[in-house]
Structure 1
Amino acid sequence: MSTSTEGFAWTPTRGYEFGLRTQAVVPSTPESDLSSEYDIIVIGAGYAGLAAARDLAFAGKKVLLVEARDRVGGRVFSAETDDGNILEIGGGWVHWLQPHVFSELTRYGLDDFVETKSMPEGCEVFSKQSREAIAMAQSPTEAEKFFGEMEALMSEVYNVDGGGGRTVLPFPFNTTNSMESNSEYGNIDDLSIKARVEQLTQLTDEQRHALMEHAASFFGIPPDRVSFTEVLRTFALCNFSSSMIEEATMKWKIAKGTTALALAILKDFKGNRIFASPVRSISQGEGAHPVTVTLESGKQLQSRFAISTIPWNVLPSIQFQPTLSPTLQDALANGTIAARTEKLLVATAAELPNGFNISCEGGDMPFASGFADGKHGKDTLLTLLTHPDIDLEKSDENLRLAETLHPNGLKVTSAWAHLWSKDRFAGGVMPIRQAGFLKKYYHEVRKPHGRVHFCGSDFADGWRGFMSGAFEDAYRVTKEVLNSDA
C-alpha cells in the first residue's frame, strides 16, 4: 500500500513519522496517453470532482481530472494502520438524512456502517479546564440534565419565526426557493449567532452565554462571526429535530472507509487523470478550446469548459483571467471565515466506554473536546477536536496532554492526524458564512465565471461542508455544463 505525503503518525517509541498509509494514493494517466485538448477539465479529485468527472464522461465528454494532491478524496480520506485498522483522517460520518452521499453508498454497495456513540445515555462526562487541572467527572444525571437544558434552550434559538424555524427554511436543499417562499429569510440571515441569542431577553445572562458557546462550538468560531442561519440550516436538514443532529452528523461511519467510496467512483470514471499537479491559473480566451489551465509546473492544458472544485478558502490563491467579479472577490475575502478546528485520533491502552466524553473549553489545553470512538485493535480510539496553531505535528508535549484527559491517566500508544488548517490545498476544514451572506453574495457565487464553473461541498445548498454536499453540488454543476455544451 502506498503512503501519502500528507499527515503524520506518532508513537512513544518512534516519535513522529510523516505520511500515512492509504489506498487513496493512485497513479496518473501515463504522459503518452494524455491529450492536449479536452471537452472539460475537472480540477480537484475530491468527491465533487470525482462525481462530476464520472458523470460527464458517462455523457460522452472527453474529460481530464486534475488533482493537486497525490491521492483522491480531497478533505476526506481513510488511512490504514499496519494491523488493518481504518482511520478517518478528514470528514467521515454519513447518514441516510444525507441523501446524496447515501445514494452513492447504495450504488456502490458500501452501505455497511460502524456506529459511533459520542454521547450515549448514562455516560460520564469529564472536564479539564487547564493543563495543570485534574480531569473531573460529572455524574451521568448531571450531564443528561445539562444537555437536556441546552437542547431546550436551542429550541428557543431556532424558533425565530414562531414555527420552530420551519417557515424560514422550508426547502433546506434549495436556498432560492426558501428565499422566495419567505421574504424574511434574507433578513434572518443578517443575524449572527450572538445577535440571535441576544434577542432572547427572557433568558439569563448565564443562559445566553452558554447558548452562544454551544452554538458556536459547531464551528470553532466566535458567535458574533457566524451567521445564525448556519446552525438553523443544520437543524432544518435534521428534520427540525435537535435530537437528530448528533445522529445525522456524528454516528455512522462507512465500514470500509471513505476512501473505498472515492476509489469506486474513480473506477467508474472513463477519462484521463493527473495527480500531484497543483493549478496556478485558469484563463479564458478564444477558439474551440478557450479555457487554459496552467499547472505550477508550467504545463498548460486546454478545454472547452472547466469545473473548479478547488476549496473556497483556496480560490483566492488561483490566478483567474479575466479576473473574478468584484462581488465574488468580496465574498471570498469577507463573506466567510475558515473553520480551523483539527481532528486528532489517539489510541489508548485504557479501557474506556464507547462514548467517554471530555470537554476542555475555557482553558489552555490544546484540545476543545473529545470522545471515545470505538476500538483500535485492543486499544480504545479517541477522537479529539483540537485548536489550530498548536503544532501538534511537532510538539510531543501538546500531544501527550491527551494522557491527562482522565483522572486515572490515559496511556497513549499511538496518534494520527492531518492538519487541515496548515494544508495549502484546503485552507482549513471548510468556510463558515458570516451574517448577511445570502443577500450580499449567494446568487453571485453560484454563477459560472464564463466557461469556468465553481463546484463543491463549499457551494452546496444542503449539507454544505459534508460529503453529501459535494455530491449535491456536483449533480447541479454537471447539469449546468451539459446544458451549456448541448
Structure 2
Amino acid sequence: MSKSSEGFTWTPTQGYKFGLRTQAVVPSTPESDLSSEYDIIVIGAGYAGLAAARDLAFAGKKVLLIEARDRIGGRAFSAETDDGNILEIGGGWVHWLQPHVFSELTKYGLHDFVETKSMPEGCEVFSKPSRETPAAAQSSTDAEKFFGEMEALMTEFYNIDGRGGRTVVPFPFNTTKSMASNPEYGNIDDLSIKSRVEQLTQLTDEQRHALMEHAASFFGIPPDRVAFTEVLRTFALCNFSSSMIEEATMKWKIAKGTTALALAILEDFKGDRIFSAPVRSISQGEGSYPVTVTLESGKQLRSRFTISTIPWNVLPSIQFQPALSPTLQDALAKGTIAARTDKLLVATAAELPNGFNISCEGGDMPFASGFADGKHGKDTLFTLLTHPNINLDKSDENLRLVESLHPDGLKVTSAWAHLWSKDRFAGGVMPIRQAGFLKKYYHEVRKPHGRVYFCGSDFANGWRGFMSGAFEDAYRVTREVLNSDA
C-alpha cells in the first residue's frame, strides 16, 4: 500500500515515523495523456472536488482535477496500520441527519458503521487540567448531573426567540430563505457566543462562564470570536435537539473508512487528474479558454470554467487576476477565524471495559479532552483533541503525557496524527464565522468570480465543515456551472 507524506506514527520505543499508509494515494494521469485545455478545471480532490468533477464529467464535460496533496480526501482520509486497522485522520463521523453524505454512502453501498461511545453508561470520567496534578476521578453521577445542567443552560442559550431558535433558522440548508423569513436573523448574527450569554442576566457568573466555555468548545475558539448563529445553526441541523448534537456529529464512523467513499467517487470520475500540484495563481482573460491555472511548478492549464475547492483559510495565499472583490477579500481577512484543534489517536494496552472520558481544560496540558473510541486490534483506541502550537509532531514529552491521563497509568503502544493546524493546504480544521458575517459577507462569498466558482464544505449552508457540507455545495456549484455553460 502507498504511503502519504502527511501525518506521523509514534511509538515509545521507536519515536516518530513520518508519513501514513493509506489507499488515498493514487496516481496522476500520465503527462503524455494530459491536455492543455479543458471545459472545466476542478481544483482540490476533497469530497467537494471529487463530487463536482464526477458529476461534470457525467454531464459530458472534459474535466481536469488538480490536487496539491499526494492523495484524495482533503481534510478527511483514513490511514491503515500494518495489522489492517483503519484510522480516521481527519473528519470521520457521519449520520443520517447529514443527508448529503448519507446519500453518497447509500449510492456506493457503504452501509456498515462503527459506533463511537464517548461516554457510555457507567463510564470512567476524569479531569487533569495540569501536567503536575494527577488525574482525578469524577463519579459518573456527577458527570451526568453536570451534562444535565449544561443541557438546561444551552436550552436557554438557544431560546433567543421564545421558540428555541426555530424562527431564526427555519431552513438550516437555505440561509437566504431563513434570512428572508426572519428579518431579525441578520441582527441576531451580530451576536457572538459571549454577547448572547451576557444577555442571560438570570444566570449566575459561574453559570455564564461555564455556558460560554461549553458553547465554544465545539470550535476550540474563544467565545467572543464565534458568532452565536454558528452554534444555533448546528442546533437547527440536529432538529433543535441538544441531545442529538453529539449523536449527529460524533457517533458513527464508516466501517471501511472515509477513503473508501473517496475512492468510490474517484472510480466514477471519467477525466484527468494531477496530484502533488499546488496552485499558485488563477487568472482570467479572453478567448475560448479564458481561465488560466498556474501551478507552483510553472505549468499552466486552461479552461472555460474553473471550480476552486481550495479551503477558505488557504484562499488568501492564491494570486487572482483580476483581484477578488474587496468584500470577499475583507471576508477572508476579517470574517472568520480558523479552528485549529488537532486530533491525536492513541492505542493503549489498558483495558477499559466501561469506557473512558477526560477533560484537560484550564491548565497547561496539551490536550483539551479525550475519550475511549472502541478497539484497535487488542488495544483500546483513544481519540484526544489537542491544542494547537504544542509541537505534537516533535515532542515526545507531550505524547508521553497520555500515560498520565488515568490514575493507574496508560501504557501507550502507538499514536497517530496529522496536524491540520500546521497544514499549508488546510490552514486549520475549518473557518468559523465571526459575529456579523451574514449581513456583511454571506451573499458575496457565494458569488462566482467571473468564470471561477468557489465551492466546498467551507461555503455550505448546512453542515459546513463536514463531509456532508462538501457534497451539498458541490451539487450547488455543479448546477450553477452547467447552467452557465448551457
Shorter-chain-normalised TM-score: which range?
over 0.9
Q: Provide the C-alpha distance between the structure 1 equivalents of 2:251 and 2:407, rounded to a whole number of angstroms.
A: 26
Deviation at 1:64, TM superposition (A): 0.1
Residue deviations 1:161-189 (CA, integer Å, cap 9, x gap)? 00000000000000000000000111000
Residue deviations 1:224-260 (CA, integer Å, cap 9, x gap)? 0000000000000000000000000000000000000
Deviation at 1:14, TM superposition (A): 1.2
Deviation at 1:297, TM superposition (A): 0.2
2:49–2:474 contact (8 Å) kept in structure 1: yes
Residue deviations 1:332-351 (CA, integer Å, cap 9, x gap)? 00000000000000001101
For 2:304, the equivalent position in structure 1 comes to 304
1:89–1:417 contact (8 Å) kept in structure 2: yes
**Structure 1 residues 354 and 68 mapped into 2: Cα distance closer, same or farther (>3 Å)?**
farther
1:368–1:386 contact (8 Å) kept in structure 2: yes
2:292–2:301 contact (8 Å) kept in structure 1: yes
What is the root-mean-square deviation in Å for CA atoms of aligned residues? 0.5
Q: Provide the C-alpha distance between the structure 2 equivalents of 1:365 and 1:310, rounded to a whole number of angstroms.
A: 33
Deviation at 1:354, TM superposition (A): 5.8
For 1:313, the equivalent position in structure 2 comes to 313
Q: Provide the C-alpha distance between the structure 2 equivalents of 1:129 and 1:58, rounded to a whole number of angstroms.
A: 53
Q: Provide the C-alpha distance between the structure 2 equivalents of 1:250 and 1:167, rounded to a whole number of angstroms.
A: 27
Deviation at 1:309, TM superposition (A): 0.1
The secondary structure found in structure 2 opposite 1:210 is helix
2:38–2:302 contact (8 Å) kept in structure 1: yes
Deviation at 1:124, TM superposition (A): 2.5
Q: Provide the C-alpha distance between the structure 1 equivalents of 2:354 and 2:338, rounded to a whole number of angstroms.
A: 31
Deviation at 1:429, TM superposition (A): 0.2
**Structure 1 residues 63 and 156 mapped into 2: Cα distance closer, same or farther (>3 Å)?**
same
**Structure 1 residues 460 and 256 mapped into 2: Cα distance closer, same or farther (>3 Å)?**
same
TM normalised by structure 1 equals 1.00
The secondary structure found in structure 1 opposite 2:355 is coil
Q: Provide the C-alpha distance between the structure 1 equivalents of 2:394 and 2:117, rounded to a whole number of angstroms.
A: 30
Number of aligned residue pairs: give it.
486
1:124–1:143 contact (8 Å) kept in structure 2: no
Q: Which runs of 5+ in 1 are unaligned?
A: none
The secondary structure found in structure 1 opposite 2:3 is coil
Residue deviations 1:395-428 (CA, integer Å, cap 9, x gap)? 0001110100001110100000000010100000
1:354–1:372 contact (8 Å) kept in structure 2: no
Q: Provide the C-alpha distance between the structure 1 equivalents of 2:188 and 2:118, rounded to a whole number of angstroms.
A: 31
2:453–2:477 contact (8 Å) kept in structure 1: yes
1:282–1:292 contact (8 Å) kept in structure 2: yes
The secondary structure found in structure 2 opposite 1:20 is strand
**Which has the higher mean CA deviation after the structures are superposed, 414-423 or 116-125?**
116-125
The secondary structure found in structure 2 opposite 1:273 is strand
2:66–2:274 contact (8 Å) kept in structure 1: yes
Q: Provide the C-alpha distance between the structure 2 equivalents of 1:353 and 1:333, rounded to a whole number of angstroms.
A: 47
Q: Provide the C-alpha distance between the structure 1 equivalents of 2:163 and 2:240, rounded to a whole number of angstroms.
A: 10
The secondary structure found in structure 1 opposite 2:368 is strand
Residue deviations 1:308-346 (CA, integer Å, cap 9, x gap)? 000000000000000000000000000000000000000
Deviation at 1:352, TM superposition (A): 1.4
**Structure 1 residues 53 and 18 mapped into 2: Cα distance closer, same or farther (>3 Å)?**
same
Residue deviations 1:15-44 (CA, integer Å, cap 9, x gap)? 100000000000000011101100000000
TM normalised by structure 2 equals 1.00
1:118–1:354 contact (8 Å) kept in structure 2: no
Q: Provide the C-alpha distance between the structure 2 equivalents of 1:171 and 1:353, rounded to a whole number of angstroms.
A: 42
Deviation at 1:129, TM superposition (A): 1.3
Q: Provide the C-alpha distance between the structure 1 equivalents of 2:114 and 2:439, rounded to a whole number of angstroms.
A: 40
Q: Which runs of 5+ in 2 are unaligned?
A: none
2:127–2:137 contact (8 Å) kept in structure 1: yes
For 2:344, the equivalent position in structure 1 comes to 344
Q: Provide the C-alpha distance between the structure 2 equivalents of 1:360 and 1:11, rounded to a whole number of angstroms.
A: 22
2:122–2:354 contact (8 Å) kept in structure 1: no
Q: Provide the C-alpha distance between the structure 2 equivalents of 1:132 and 1:379, rounded to a whole number of angstroms.
A: 27
